[in-house]
């Protein structure tokens, strides 16, 4: 599962699609964690899509990740600022790739 303490255990390495990326990254095989309030571990995500379908405020957007071993698309939390902390995405993810920190 995603490390809920990623903000202390990892370093910010940049931004993609307006979303902070937490390393390490070594594309295309290793892509890190995307997002902060709503964080998706790209190296765990299998593109199940339940989070994107169930999110009541459309936080997630599909992005292409060709060459990644788990899946060649991922959900980017492009509208994480809209999150209402309902935790649906966390609950439905079959591989526990998402962490939402109501902070």
Q: Which residues bind ligand SF4 (CB under 6 A)?
A: 38, 54-57, 59, 83-89, 100
Q: What's the min distance (Å) between Cβ of 26 and ligand SF4?
A: 27
> Do residues 13 and 24 lie in contact, with contact meaning Cβ atoms separated by under 8 Å?
yes
Q: What's the min distance (Å) between Cβ of 37 and ligand SF4?
A: 8
Rounded to whole angstroms, the Cα distance separating 82 from 34 reads 16
Q: Which residues pair with 41 in a beta bridge?
A: 33
Closer Cβ to ligand SF4, 22 or 60, answer by number: 60
Tokens 């292409």 belong to 64
Closer Cβ to ligand SF4, 33 or 100, answer by number: 100
Q: What's the min distance (Å) between Cβ of 91 and ligand SF4?
A: 9
Tokens 């339940």 belong to 50
Closer Cβ to ligand SF4, 11 or 53, answer by number: 53
**Nearest of 19, 14, 65, 16 to residue 44 by alpha carbon:** 65
């Amino acid at each position: 599962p995603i490390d809920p303490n990623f903000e202390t255990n990892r370093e910010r390495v940049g931004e993609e699609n307006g979303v902070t990326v937490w390393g390490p990254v070594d594309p295309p095989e290793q892509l890190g964690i995307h997002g902060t309030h709503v964080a998706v571990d790209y190296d765990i995500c299998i593109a199940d899509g339940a989070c994107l379908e169930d999110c009541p405020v459309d936080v997630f957007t599909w992005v292409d990740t060709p060459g990644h071993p788990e899946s060649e698309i991922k959900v980017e939390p492009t509208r994480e600022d809209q999150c209402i902390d309902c935790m649906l995405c966390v609950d439905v993810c079959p591989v526990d790739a998402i962490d939402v920190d109501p902070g």
